[in-house]
Structure 1
Amino acid sequence: MKFAAISDVHVKIAGDNAENLLLAFLRNPDVQSSDVIFLLGDIFDLMIGPHTQYFVRFQAYFDEIKKLIKSGKHICYVEGNHDFHIRELYRKFFLVNSELDASLFSMATHFEFFDGGKKIYLAHGDDIELNNPSYKLFKAVVTSPPLRYYANYLMPHFLIKGIGEYSAEKSRKRNNKRYSTEADLTPIKDNFRLSAEVFFKKHPCQMIVLGHSHVKDHYTSASGFEYVNNGYAQHTKTYISIENGDVSFKPV
């Protein structure tokens, strides 16, 4: 089998560099030749709740999803920490596009596949990450039932859009500064390798594919597994390709 995976694209507004990169990924002939396409969270910088305005704001993205499903491709989506409480959004998407086979679009906290004799675990990565208690608290709050209810039924779209537009420029400057020094990234890389090692002891598999860290890595453990992370897609401009159990980074 053949898989393609990307995460941490952080599309802020239609037509920005991140959306162009995401569309290039979805239109890539090599990606389109894959059996399964994985979107492993933080595809959008702020997408919360089931607001149908997203279908208009990000029409090009949803058009590509429609084309892929019509061609028989299976798409697997893992919510991240910037795009969450969106299951109802995709339920509406398939109601509006009733001609599509909804069984070809899956959402889960993680996915497990076997390929080339290897068990492959794919997730966003925040649930595996160690040594980040403040983030764990944040995630527990935003995924709690009261916040889920607010996001699905009470939170207005204009509020999300306004927050996203306000934070877009600050986020761009912060990320450009953050990823300019390799030494600053080493502790993050080491922590995610440690997180993968600890996870492997409880959930044995031959390959762990994650996002979230924004640090690109392909680590082969002495314990007998590979940990793979595509990093911050706008900087790496790559995606993860897995074919017959062999993994590689390919340009978008």
Structure 2
Amino acid sequence: MSQRLKIYFASDQHLGAPTQEKSFPREKKFVAWLDEVKKDADAIFLLGDLFDFWFEYKTVVPKGFVRVLGKLAEIRDSGTPIYFFVGNHDLWMHDYFEKELNIPVYHKPKEFTFNDKVFLIGHGDGLGPGDKGYKRMKKVFTNPFSKWLFRWLHPDLGVKLAQYLSVKNKLISGDADVRFLGEDNEWLVLYSKRKLKTKHYDYFVFGHRHLPMTIDLGQNSTYINLGDWIGYFTYGVFDGEKFELKEYKN
């Protein structure tokens, strides 16, 4: 890392929801943010649900999103590392980003170290206690046979069906009551505290909750949730010494 260390984090843009047309202003805003942070970014982490739906057929990917994909390609081609963690809405991502954009894709939380600070980074879905129904469904969705069956649907039908079901999610349709549940009920906080029993992490950085929050876990460890790009437009930045959550107001 350079002396001007700046690492940026963003999550949950849900581009395409509730429609391509309605999410277009958010896509332009996110591209403007990428244009701004590329000036001093040593690395950019995207923590999942960049798209409200994504499925990679053998020779087809979903239509649209050319501005954000083009900007990611530009930044990566300039030499800035970009890391992508799949979320629960784009968990069917395979190797398109790796082959086309040279952006590694991770399906599980991964550990990174910057300036002697240890990070555990991921999207956050299915972690911690509870949410057993989703965990069962995730096993179904990620099963190779399930993906094989879905691939047999014509893309026009498969994408339309998946988008319809995705928008039914209250977090995306806009009528969800996203609120802080308290440390004892936030599954990702409990997950982070459990991880601390076996290894020290300076920062746990996740998305998924659509609620920006920073929680002191004790033991010089901090849990951060990045919020979203639907209502909050928040992102994280680590400058080598401290981690901050900020709002993009452009």
Q: Shorter chain as normaliser: what TM range?
A: 0.7 to 0.9
Q: Which runs of 5+ in 2 are unaligned?
A: none
C-alpha spacing 1:167/1:18, structure 2 compared with 1 (3 Å): farther
The equivalent of 1:69 in structure 2 is: 76
The equivalent of 2:28 in structure 1 is: 20
Are the equivalent residues in 1 in contact too, given 2:110–2:120 (CA < 8 A)? yes
Deviation digits for residues 149-177 of structure 1, max 9, x if unmatched?
A: 345x4343212331255356644686532
The equivalent of 2:176 in structure 1 is: 178
1:212 aligned onto 2:208: yes
Q: Secondary structure at the match of 2:187?
A: helix
Deviation digits for residues 176-233 of structure 1, max 9, x if unmatched?
A: 3224x74xx3258633322211122234311110011222110111233111011232
- Which residue of 31, 34, 42 maps to 2:41? 34
- Which residue of 4, 7, 10 maps to 1:3? 7
Deviation digits for residues 20-44 of structure 1, max 9, x if unmatched?
A: 33323322x2344211111111111
1:163 aligned onto 2:171: no
The one-letter code of the counterpart of 1:131 is G
By how many angstroms is 1:56 displaced?
Answer: 4.5
Q: Identity over the aligned pairs, expressed in percent?
A: 22
C-alpha spacing 1:31/1:110, structure 2 compared with 1 (3 Å): farther
C-alpha spacing 1:169/1:194, structure 2 compared with 1 (3 Å): closer
- Which residue of 29, 36, 50 maps to 1:43? 50
| Higher share in helix | 1
C-alpha spacing 1:10/1:191, structure 2 compared with 1 (3 Å): same
Aligned partners of 2:152, 2:122: CA distance in 1, in Å? 28
The equivalent of 1:99 in structure 2 is: none
Structural mapping, 1:217-236, within 5 Å: 217-236=213-232
Q: Which runs of 5+ in 1 are unaligned?
A: 95-101
Aligned partners of 2:76, 2:42: CA distance in 1, in Å? 11
The one-letter code of the counterpart of 1:243 is D
Aligned length: 238
Q: Secondary structure at the match of 1:202?
A: coil
- TM-score, scaled relative to structure 1: 0.82
Deviation digits for residues 223-251 of structure 1, max 9, x if unmatched?
A: 33111011232111111111104111222
Aligned partners of 2:147, 2:39: CA distance in 1, in Å? 33
By how many angstroms is 1:81 displaced?
Answer: 0.8
Are the equivalent residues in 2 in contact too, given 1:49–1:84 (CA < 8 A)? no
By how many angstroms is 1:6 displaced?
Answer: 0.9
1:88 aligned onto 2:99: no
Aligned partners of 1:56, 1:195: CA distance in 2, in Å? 36
Q: Secondary structure at the match of 2:8?
A: strand
The one-letter code of the counterpart of 2:7 is F
Aligned partners of 2:159, 2:109: CA distance in 1, in Å? 27
**CA RMSD of superposed structures (Å):** 2.6
Aligned partners of 1:219, 1:30: CA distance in 2, in Å? 25
Aligned partners of 1:134, 1:19: CA distance in 2, in Å? 31
Aligned partners of 2:227, 2:140: CA distance in 1, in Å? 25
Q: Give runs of ≥4 in structure 1 deviating > 4 Å.
A: 167-175
Aligned partners of 1:174, 1:60: CA distance in 2, in Å? 21
The one-letter code of the counterpart of 1:3 is I
Are the equivalent residues in 2 in contact too, given 1:50–1:85 (CA < 8 A)? no
C-alpha spacing 1:34/1:173, structure 2 compared with 1 (3 Å): closer
